[in-house]
Amino acid sequence: MDAAVLKGGFRDAPVDAARAFRAAMQAMARPGTIHDVAGAEPPAPLSRAAGVLILTLCDPETRVHLAGAHDCAEVRDWITFHAGAPMVGAEDCDFALGTWDALQPLDRFRIGTAQYPDRSATLIVERSELKAEGATLTGPGIRETARMSLPEVAAFGANAARFPLGWDAYFCAGNRLAALPRSTQVEG
């Protein structure tokens, strides 16, 4: 194992994980809000925010799928060492990580069932930047409307139309993250 894999995890795991968990939950509860996170230094091409999410939300029971350039030895080894999460194909994952283009086609990810809508995938989408502009968001956790720069609008609108089924999404850029749960209505 490369010694670099051993680096980059939380320095003060209980404190860093608690702060990151709070940011991740606030982002999901308040769609369109952008949160700064810290505590991890993952290998490229993982952003700091994506690394923090993996360390916070994944464990040996959490199946992870890596797409595109993120599916490399450095990232696989880092996640395995720090989170213990097994790597799986897109159809079986709990979390899928990659750029929007690399995650396509989206119909291969689990959307849950009528009895178990929670058995769906969560996408961690790497972006070059996050902005509170672009698509209009409405729904739970949003007072009137919010705005968020999305890679596309149609896929998120179709996903919301399946509610309570569908996948949820986190967006990461540098040390910033935002979220879009399946319950959020999206308009261009």
Is 47's pLDDT higher than 60? yes
**CA nearest neighbour of 175 among 66, 74, 52, 58:** 52
Averaged pLDDT for residues 59-67: 98
Is 1's pLDDT higher than 60? no
Average pLDDT, the chain: 95
Is 9's pLDDT higher than 60? yes
The two tokens of residue 186 are 């999206």
- Could you report the per-residue pLDDT of 73-111, keeping only the tens digit for each? 999 999 999 999 999 999 999 999 999 999 999 999 999
Residue 127 is classified by DSSP as -
- Could you report the per-residue pLDDT of 160-169, keeping only the tens digit for each? 999 999 999 9
- Could you report the per-residue pLDDT of 136-157, keeping only the tens digit for each? 999 999 999 999 999 999 999 9
* 95-99 and 122-126 strand pairing: parallel
| Spatial distance between the Cα atoms of 103 and 14, rounded to a whole number of angstroms | 31
The alpha carbon of residue 181 and the mean position of all alpha carbons in its chain are separated, in whole angstroms, by 11
List phi, psi (to 5°) of 159: -65, -45
Phi-psi region of 151 (alpha: psi -120 to 50; beta: other; left: phi over 0): alpha
Give the model's confidence band at 17: pLDDT under 50 very low, under 70 low, under 90 confident, else very high. Answer: confident
**What does the pLDDT read at residue 10?**
79
**What does the pLDDT read at residue 175?**
97
**What does the pLDDT read at residue 22?**
97
Residues in CB range of 172: below 8 A, 6 or more apart = 47, 49, 50, 53, 124, 125, 126, 127, 130
CATH architecture of 3-187: 3-Layer(aba) Sandwich (3.40)
**Domain map of the chain by residue range?**
3-187
Radius of gyration of the chain (CA): 16
